[in-house]
Structure 1
Amino acid sequence: MESIKRVAAINDLSGFCRCSLSVAIPIISAMGLWCCPLPTAILSNHTGYDDFFFDDYTEKMEPYYKMWKTNNVNFDSIYTGFLGSVKQIDIVMDFIKNFKNDKNIVVVDPVMGDDGVLYSTYTKDMQLEMKKLIKYAFVITPNVTECSFLSDTKYEGEHISIDKARDMCKKIEGPKNIVLTGIRSKDKIINFVYNTQTKEETIVSRNAVDVYYAGTGDVFSSALCAFLTKGFNLKESVEKSAKFVEEAVKHTFMCKLDNKEGLAIEKCLNLLWEENL
């Protein structure tokens, strides 16, 4: 019998709201994979709310994952999301050095900012350290803002040309592939896929719904990691992940749910389960 592949998911955990590990665990599990979380922080709800409980897990991360090493645990992929400090980024790089091998893949979602600005907790030193982390990645999934900062390019909004997307991706050093997400084009959302070695590029577009939901990028990156771990190639994985996000957005929009609560993926997970049959 085929063994169940394992994904090490390094991200924060919000008890309320569909984001980070709260979406990574069900999405990866629905694909028939074993999601092994390494929390970076524990929150009552995400920081988009005025009030929240926050427990920084930085000092616990290393002893936590060293028990995995002691117990000879291995992973088929390593997936990183929001990291809250330079020290956490350094810990994750050490984690990759400990668990990376010739067969597994590393997916880095460089969660840094949105709408042209870095998050309030994100420092210049963290930006520089993230540029080091992405060098370990098979693929990174920046939005337009994050791609601008990683490429040291002026942010010009979400409605950018393919030429602009290509120019930014060319300036990013390290990862084998870049999936530049969330490019706006009339009634479409475009994902620009760029191979930094072969310079091959692919455009994957889906219908857009003019609404924002917290954690949408987490849903996309989690699905992408799952499809890649299952053995789909990058183009197929981006297409399938974008389709899943589109369906989740449409369903959430019809349900008229609070944007802060994120995408209502619960009724859409069957789409991923069907991919696993």
Structure 2
Amino acid sequence: MKQLLIAQDLSSVGGVSLGIAVPVLASYQQRTTVLPTMLLSSHTGGFGLPIKVDISPFIQAFEEHWTTIPVQFTGAYLGYLGTVESIKMMGILLDKLSDDKTLTVIDPVMADHGTLYSGLTNGYVDELSMLCLAQADLILPNLTEAYLLADCNYQENPSETEIKKLLTRLLKKLNLKAVIITGVTNQKNQIGAVFLTKDGESGWVLKARRENHYFGTGDLLASCVVGELMSGHSLREALEFAVEVTWKAMSISDSEGLDQRLGVNFMSILPDINDRMEK
């Protein structure tokens, strides 16, 4: 049974992570196996302290059952894993249920604005680095996460030359086919993403910075990139479309006066994906 694995957290309130990834990838006509790595009563931004349920003790049991079906992953999209144990278990799961043809994309969700998320340690960073080295074809860190994985000192506003060095270091250190760094900016008040491939292809995809911040924009962008790649588009095409529709979703959210805590209105761009799949 050919499936795309989506492994990341599930927040009951707030449109982020699995709440975005599943409908977006369904719009890309992907049959998915969903693994919630952690259950939360809400995401962690603005709703108070959420209730959390760690799923890591059950990952091995999931894998053992899937082996009997059997499930074979044509792609894997990993987001927030949450614990060192989850990272280790995901490595074992991918070893058993994927192969060299599997496209494995890791969004190494663990930090922002120069700081690790609460409860995470340098040991978590090291374990996630080893998972990326062993399994990932493509990673999509934000700037903070990129510096952590590269084991370099964080710079808040790096130059284009510095970012190119960072991309190159990540490609070599983690033996990747490609790297996308999200949330990068330039001096024209634009924001977006930059990529570099093992073959030397590179580029920046930027849009005008918007004033409001919505939860889930990174999840939307990464989910679209995965869907685009699984549909046969090039990395450049995938990133250009993902940035465009993410910016559009933010614009629509602004016009609706949406409560930013509830996440970006990703539903508004699902018709764009459907139209793209029909061409």
Q: Could you tell me the TM-score, scaled by structure 1's length?
A: 0.94
Structure 2 unaligned segments of length 5 or more: list them. none
Structure 1 unaligned segments of length 5 or more: list them. none
The answer on 1:19 being equivalent to 2:20 is: no
Q: Report the count of equivalent residues.
A: 272
Percent identity reads 28
State the 1:190 CA deviation: 3.0
State the 1:198 CA deviation: 2.6
CA deviation digits over 1:9-45, x for unaligned, max 9?
0001111111110000010001111222111111111
The answer on 1:188 being equivalent to 2:187 is: no
**Mapped contact 1:39–1:61 kept (Cα < 8 A):** no
CA deviation digits over 1:36-74, x for unaligned, max 9?
211111111112232322111111111012211111111
Q: Distance in 2 between matches of 1:84 and 1:187?
A: 33
Q: Which residue of 1 aligns with 2:137?
A: 138
Q: Distance in 1 between matches of 2:192 and 2:17?
A: 22
**Mapped contact 2:167–2:195 kept (Cα < 8 A):** no
Q: Distance in 1 between matches of 2:9 and 2:192?
A: 27
Q: Distance in 2 between matches of 1:163 and 1:39?
A: 38
Q: Which residue of 2 aligns with 1:274?
A: 275
Q: Distance in 1 between matches of 2:247 and 2:67?
A: 38
Q: Indicate the larger mover: 91-100 or 203-212.
A: 203-212
Q: Distance in 1 between matches of 2:258 and 2:7?
A: 28
SS of match in other structure, 2:154: coil
CA deviation digits over 1:215-241, x for unaligned, max 9?
211111111111111111111111111
Q: Distance in 2 between matches of 1:142 and 1:270?
A: 27
SS of match in other structure, 1:213: coil
Q: Distance in 1 between matches of 2:105 and 2:76?
A: 6
Q: Distance in 2 between matches of 1:161 and 1:178?
A: 17
CA deviation digits over 1:149-176, x for unaligned, max 9?
111222222x432211111122221222
State the 1:267 CA deviation: 2.0
State the 1:130 CA deviation: 1.0
**Residue 241 of structure 2 aligns to which amino acid in structure 1?**
K
Q: Distance in 2 between matches of 1:67 and 1:269?
A: 32
SS of match in other structure, 1:75: strand
SS of match in other structure, 1:155: coil
Q: Which residue of 1 aligns with 2:226?
A: 225
Q: Which residue of 1 aligns with 2:71?
A: 73
State the 1:138 CA deviation: 1.2
**Mapped contact 1:11–1:39 kept (Cα < 8 A):** yes
Q: Could you tell me the TM-score, scaled by structure 2's length?
A: 0.93
Q: Which residue of 2 aligns with 1:170?
A: 168
Q: Distance in 1 between matches of 2:101 and 2:149?
A: 27
SS of match in other structure, 2:105: strand
The answer on 1:154 being equivalent to 2:149 is: no
Q: Indicate the larger mover: 250-259 or 78-87.
A: 250-259
**Mapped contact 1:41–1:56 kept (Cα < 8 A):** yes
SS of match in other structure, 2:19: helix
State the 1:271 CA deviation: 0.8
CA deviation digits over 1:73-115, x for unaligned, max 9?
1122100000111111111111111122232200000001111
CA RMSD, Structure 1 to Structure 2 (Å): 1.5
Q: Which residue of 2 aligns with 1:249?
A: 250
Q: Distance in 1 between matches of 2:268 and 2:254?
A: 13
SS of match in other structure, 1:12: strand
Q: Distance in 1 between matches of 2:52 and 2:167?
A: 34
**Mapped contact 1:7–1:33 kept (Cα < 8 A):** yes
